[in-house]
Amino acid sequence: MMKLCILVCTTVGGLGGSLLAGALHLETFSLGGFALSGVGSIVGVYAGWKLARKLEE
């Protein structure tokens, strides 16, 4: 269950970071877009981990 939560949240976080980069008028394949997508993915890993722990209780 934990791996599934982390996978889904990482995907959603990366997509959110990419959309944020688009809203800031950064190109998708630029360094800024890559960095925001990476930050979103890291936040997604943390959120997925916390969600999985909460569901296991």
Stated as kind and residue range, the H or E segment containing 8 is helix 2-23
Burial of 52 (0-12, 13-18, 19+ CB in 10 A): middle
In the numeric block, which tokens belong to residue 50?
Answer: 């916390």
7-48 pLDDT tens trace: 999 999 999 999 999 999 988 788 988 999 999 999 999 999
Residues in the chain, how many?
A: 57
User: What residue ranges do the domains of the chain occupy?
Assistant: 2-56
Question: CA 24, CA 40: separation in Å to the nearest integer?
Answer: 15
pLDDT at residue 29 in the model? 81
**pTM of the full predicted structure?**
0.86
pLDDT at residue 43 in the model? 97
